[in-house]
Structure 1
């Protein structure tokens, strides 16, 4: 096998709290990542010669070593001492600066894809160590599903069962840089007594209404105060059939969740008048990992 086509999935955060600032300048967080079916498409090919070539459908995204998929390929080749030419073609659907983790997902999907192409020279634990060098969200995109994580988002606390939900993802047409969100949106943060166990228990108990009730994102108040038009739009959606919703990551996308696909169609048609909107569903770890010939049982090693 000389090439492989894979899906590079987006994520939302069902829970995102800022715990404190770290000495290295980053922030410690407590979050529940959720992989969703909205995705980019990646084709990885082994070529004659040496070197890495990245081609993306979005000309605003760099194709050199600033690209996270390029970095992932470079780390993989160095770690495995494989001296081959690699071409990575990325058809971008996930918007940049939307809080959906598109770049991190591309990087981790590239790591997993290369590992499959070269017959799994690296185990999941070593892949995670490499992914941490690339980005804080990258480790999650190695495992998918529903994950409770802490520190920079790179340390897994628990793998949770994936709720069966449908999601609308709305992109308002502008980006939010993560650095900007931390600098500006958290100024509005009044520390709330948020208990993550409420949504964890709702997820484990398959209580969809409670999942919607206990969604939380610390960036949300600051984001909506700066973007009052999006807040008004979001409130209209919350008065409809959705179970709840919030800001994706640090923004700019917002999302709403639904129990059935039919429940979201009215909101989907409404949102199309204001920006780009996509229908998605939750993706479990087992569904994601089987693409790369990995078993869910291997994930227990990442909790140690």
Structure 2
């Protein structure tokens, strides 16, 4: 038996860090949505009771450190499943980019194996299992558009934002989320207007969505990597409707509803950056 699943990337329309918790994690408040840039996951049953993984990217582990491998392993362990599975990942989402590439792969494996193995688990149950793997996995299990709080696992779903183009620019560097959190001075942050973003989405007000794009991690990432700040400045100068960094970076994305502007931005950015993508915003939950 074989199954192929798409694992879409996520972007943060807002990202706020509320406080540092006693357990070392941070409480966050962020509005996330999915975009049509996706990895392709191929699941194939194998005779032996083991997990095989193969990834088409040199910087992604082909072993138990891969989150997709961990997803299959947690599912097998939790439910006592003695079946083997081969996982082949065709990477299209940039690595270490702030786009939840590893988390969405893990979520896709959970959804795919739930169906292949006839487990009958609900999305909420899969999301609970996914939290063992990473804070972004529960959102990636569901997909769509949501306000995420706690460590990112508490989700309140929102309607999809109005259709638009998303231009993503990934500079040739990786950013450690841990390093960025360590640099954050939580008591000095200027917090995004999260409620305003939610209202703009509910009212389908694209201009307000663009004006309320904000990410409190930008300052720390820009200090460590000034080139990321320069990319945001350049995209803004090129005339995007709204520009912000996703996650802890280094990917910067821009929104526009104008076809000509989207492709003009792409062509302008392609002149000096290798990893530039023009995709559509998805924003709808997985079935």
Assess same fold via TM > 0.5.
Answer: yes
Q: Distance in 2 between matches of 1:274 and 1:116?
A: 43
Cα deviation for residue 192 of structure 1 reads 1.7
Indicate which of 202, 207, 216 corresponds to 1:204: 202
> In the alignment, does 2:34 pair up with 1:35?
yes
2:44 maps to what in 1?
45
Query: How big is the shift at 1:41?
Result: 0.9
Partners in 1 of 2:198 and 2:109 — Cα distance? 30
Contact 1:99–1:250 (CA under 8 A) maintained in structure 2? yes
- After alignment, is 172-181 or 253-262 more displaced? 253-262
Q: Is the 8 A contact 2:103 2:134 kept in 1?
A: yes
In 2, Cα distance between equivalents of 1:83 and 1:150:
35
Equivalent in 247, 250, 260 of residue 249 of structure 1:
247
- Structure 2: give runs of 5+ residues left out of the alignment: none
Give 3-state SS (helix, strand or coil) of 1:82's partner: coil
Count residues with an aligned counterpart: 286
The equivalent residue for 1:215 is 213
CA distance in 1, matches of 2:225, 2:19: 25
Does residue 277 of the first structure (1) align with residue 276 of the second (2)?
yes
What is aligned with 1:61? 60
The answer on whether the counterparts of 1:131 and 1:138 sit within 8 Å (CA) in structure 2 is yes
Equivalent-residue separation in structure 2 for 1:285 and 1:81 (angstroms)? 32
Equivalent positions of 1:95-134 (< 5 A) are: 95-134=94-133
1:62 and 1:170 mapped to 2: Cα distance?
A: 23
Which residues of 2 match residues 284-299 of structure 1 at below 5 A? Answer: 284-286=283-285, 289=286, 294=287
C-alpha root-mean-square deviation of aligned residues, in Å? Answer: 1.7
Question: Matched residues in 2 for 1:215 and 1:90: separation?
Answer: 31
Cα deviation, 1:57-76, whole Å, max 9, x if unaligned, reads: 11322122111000100111
Query: How far 1:251 moved relative to its partner?
Result: 0.6
Q: Distance in 1 between matches of 2:113 and 2:188?
A: 44
Q: 2 CA distance for matches of 1:141 and 1:110? A: 11
Distance 1:104 1:264 in 2: 27
Show the counterpart of 1:24.
23
| Gap change, CA 1:274 and 1:183, over 3 Å in 2 | farther
State whether structure 2 residue 232 is matched by structure 1 residue 234: yes
Q: How does 1:51-200 map to 2 (within 5 A)?
A: 51-184=50-183, 186-187=184-185, 190-200=188-198
Deviates most, 236-245 or 61-70:
236-245
Displacement, 1:231?
Answer: 2.2
Q: More displaced, 205-214 or 271-280?
A: 271-280
TM-score, with structure 1 as normaliser: 0.89
Runs of 4+ in 1 over 6 A off after TM superposition: none
Residue by residue over 1:64-112, the C-alpha shift from the partner in whole angstroms, topping out at 9 and shown as x without a partner, is 2111000100111223332111000001121221100000000000000
TM-score between both structures, scaled by the size of structure 2: 0.94
Q: Offset of 1:187 from its aligned partner? A: 4.5
